[in-house]
A and B are shown apart, each in its own frame.
Chain A
Amino acid sequence: MKLLSVEHLGKAFGGVQAIEDLSFDIQTGAVHSIIGPNGAGKTTLLNMLTGIYVPDSGHIRLGDRDLTGLATHQFAAAGIGRSFQNLQVFFNMSALENVMTGRHLRERCSLLATLLRTPALVRAEADCRALALRLLGRVGLGEYRDAAADAMPYGALKRLEIARALAAEPSLLLLDEPAAGLNQTEAREIDALIKQLAAEGTTIVLVEHNMRLVMEVSDHVLVLDHGRKLAEGTPAQVSANPLVIEAYLGVAEPQAAHA
């Protein structure tokens, strides 16, 4: 079943066409990877899929809803969650509070109940806390529950972002290079986590440079190059595609700034 569809998407920054006439679909319950050389437009695409950038042309549909042009928080409310390539952890909070913040959409924030701290709110807070603790345990960060986020190691922060995104129970989870900068062991843990999430039915879009990870976990791979679709298919199909091999290994090209 089609969960997300991207139709003729385009985005330019000044004279640079970051994404050009891009169309693809995301199926429910599968792991979709988006790969491509540096500067191919992967992060730009993710930023459009979360409303951070507004596309110049084209449409983004989630189910029957056209999300094009909505604000970032409305994309989140529609059910799209994400992690960031360059960390966007709330460093002014503890690990647990980071994950509790992820519950924002699932909580009611009536002003009167907040100011008077009604018993219902106290109960909701206790539930939120318990759920956040479970999620921390799930991504293997149980020991960090009360740690200040700015005192945590890099690898743990990567997983903290995933736990925070999961707290919102998104129907579509976008992971922007979750294994970047991690050592082999940590990357394997992320690997296992993604597989587990996929097995439970979360639809995942993975942007990743780590080819071993991509080939292992993906059901479907989309290859971008210079903002255009270069190839699409199963991991086996894509890795056998001559265009893909050329883009990655063949012709020498200047490495653009990281997208």
Chain B
Amino acid sequence: MRAAVIVSEPLRPGLGRWLATPRRGGLLVLALVIVLLPLLLRNSYFYEIAILVALNAIVCIGLNLLIGYAGQISLGHAGFFALGGYGSAILSAQHGWPSWLAMITSCAAVGLLAFVVGRPTLRLKGHYLAMATLGLGIIISIVLTTEDRLTGGPDGMAVPALSVFGWVLRGERTWYWVVAAALLLAVWLALNLIESPTGRALRALHGSEIAAQTLGVDSARFKLRVFVISAVFAAVAGALTAHYAGFITPAKSTFMHSVELVIMVVFGGMASIFGAVVGALVLTLLPQLLTVLEDYETMVFGAVLIATMIFFPQGIVPTLARWLASLKQGLRR
């Protein structure tokens, strides 16, 4: 903790203030972690875990925009994740599209699907989006499992390697840098969204929907916007996952996976972009560390959710940030 306090002390007053915002300081810290991490990654298994963490983090950043900022819950993000992957897989494997184009098309299609589902439901007050996405996620999961001529059914299907203008991405180390860059991009985009008139409108809706509307905020429009963005984030991560693994099965589209994603966001901290990254990190590592408890994974996730709600309902990162701030104030006195 001591180290963290020293780091956050200004080096020079101007530079300190420049770095003190999440967009600059937080991004810099994340970039440093990404650059230095390979020193600790001894073999390709560790790389694989790191890639998995980053991909989950991308989904969670998008989902956190929706849950933490728009105050809406999606219980079908695993569906968007899987659709992104399957769409890209089907277009590139069965229709011979270049994989990068397949990926972009698939993610755009998922965005369109989210728009179609979100537009009617987000006009309603309350948690109708949760119900709609719950249904949608289950439908996607069933379709992916049963349409075996297209998707390979429960056994899944092979996915061609990702190639960008002739450059084929191969090997854990290459993928590590690609996924890390995607994560940095996702964090940057999300922070930009939050620190903008759109971000303020969203937080205003959370603070007082009625007051936000009397200031001209069209709540349905802004909630829809974030929902579509979060679905596209999930689809991008899903497509990257499919091309990286070279294989995709309907397992990633299940309701349980959607719930896991929500738990990552809640644990890491709602309305905190870096919280989403930490939540994805901890809850992706947890099953790897507790391999003996494999059969009880669902129970462990449930326990984590209960413990989060009881001990730090704000999530781990906002709680730590507040604790650090009060510690810093105590030291100054």
- Using CB atoms and an 8 Å cutoff, list the residues of chain A in contact with chain B: 50-52, 71-73, 75-77, 81-82, 84, 88-93, 97, 100-105, 107-109, 111, 114-117, 121, 124-125, 128, 161, 164-165, 168
Judging by beta carbons under 8 Å apart, are B211 and A105 in contact? Answer: no
| 8 pairs of A and B residues whose beta carbons are closest in the complex | A90-B207, A76-B216, A88-B211, A72-B213, A105-B216, A107-B197, A117-B192, A88-B208
Q: Say yes or no: is B106 at the interface (Cβ < 8 Å to chain A).
A: no
B residues in contact with A50, CB < 8 Å: 214
Q: Given A109-B197, A117-B192, are A101 and B210 also a contact pair (CB < 8 Å)?
A: no
Chain B: minimal CB distance from A95 (Å):
13
Residues from chain B with Cβ under 8 Å of A90 in the complex? 203-204, 207-208, 211-212
Interface 1/0 per residue, B194-216 and A, CB below 8 Å: 01111111011011101111111
CB-based contact A104/B201 at 8 Å: yes
Alpha-carbon separation in the docked complex, A161 to B210 (Å):
13
> How far is A93 from B215 in the complex, measured between Cα atoms in Å?
15
Interface size of B in residues (CB-CB distance below 8 Å): 27
Measured between beta carbons, the chain B residues less than 8 angstroms from A100 are 200
- What residues of chain B lie closer than 8 Å to A115, measured between beta carbons? 189, 192-193
Find residues 169-204 in chain B having any chain A CB closer than 8 Å to their own CB: 189, 192-193, 195-201, 203-204
Asked if B31 is at the interface (CB within 8 A of a chain A CB), the reply is no
Docked complex Cα distance between A84 and B51 (Å): 49
Q: Does B254 contact A (CB under 8 A)?
A: no
- Which of B76-84, B87-95, B158-166, B217-225 sits within the interface? B217-225
Residue among A73, A76, A102 facing the most chain B CB atoms (10 A cut-off) = A73
Contact B207 A117 (CB under 8 A): no
- B216 is contacted by which of A52, A92, A168 (Cβ under 8 Å)? A168
Near A by CB (< 8 A), chain B positions 31-62 give none
Given B197, B206, B213, which contacts A114 in the complex, CB threshold below 8 Å? B197
Min CB distance B17 to A, Å, is: 12
Nearest to B189 among chain A residues (CB) is A115
B207 touches A76 (CB 8 A): no
CA distance A124 to B198 in the complex (A): 13
Residue of A91, A102, A109, A165 near B198 (CB, 8 A) is: A109
Distance in Å from the Cβ of B183 to the closest Cβ of chain A?
Answer: 16
Q: Are B206 and A109 in contact (CB under 8 A)?
A: no
For window 210-255 of B, CB contacts with A under 8 Å fall at 210-219, 225
Who on chain B is nearest to A52 by CB? B210
Assembly CA distance A72 to B204 (angstroms): 15
The interface centre, meaning the residue of A71, A75, A108, A114 with most chain B CB atoms within 10 A of its CB, is A114
Q: Which residue of B lies closest to A105 (CB)?
A: B216
For B193, the chain A residues whose CB sits under 8 A away are: 114-115
- On whether the beta carbons of B207 and A125 are closer than 8 Å, the reply is no
| A88-B208, A104-B201 as given contacts; A73 in contact with B196, CB under 8 Å | no
Q: Is the CB of B201 within 8 A of A116?
A: no
Closest to B205 in A: A90
Name 12 extra pairs, CB < 8 A, besides A92-B203, A104-B197: A71-B218, A73-B217, A76-B213, A90-B203, A90-B212, A93-B200, A101-B203, A104-B200, A104-B217, A114-B196, A115-B192, A161-B211
Q: Per a CB cutoff under 8 Å, which of B215, B219, B271 touches A101?
A: B215
The residue among B193, B207, B213, B216 with the most chain A CB atoms within 10 A of its own CB is B216
Which residue from chain A places its CB closest to the CB of B196 in the assembled complex?
A: A114
A164–B196 Cα gap in the complex (Å)? Answer: 17
Cβ-defined contact, B215 with A76, below 8 A:
yes
- Residue of A84, A117, A124, A165 most packed against chain B (CB within 10 A): A117
Check if A77 sits within 8 Å of B216, measured CB to CB.
Answer: yes
Residues of B within 8 A of A168 (CB): 215-216
From B189, B200, B208, B216, give the contact of A97 (CB < 8 A). Answer: B200
Query: Chain A contacts of B208 at CB under 8 A?
Result: 88-91
Query: CA A108 – CA B196 in complex, angstroms?
Result: 10
The answer to whether A72 and B196 touch across the interface, beta carbons within 8 angstroms, is no
Q: Which residues of A contact B219 (CB under 8 A)?
A: 73
Task: Give the CA-CA distance A97 to B194 in the complex, in Å.
Answer: 12
Chain B positions within 8 Å of A125 at CB level: 195-197
Cα distance A101–B204 when bound, in Å? Answer: 7
Pair B196/A121 contact, Cβ less than 8 Å: yes
Q: Are B197 and A116 within 8 A (Cβ)?
A: no
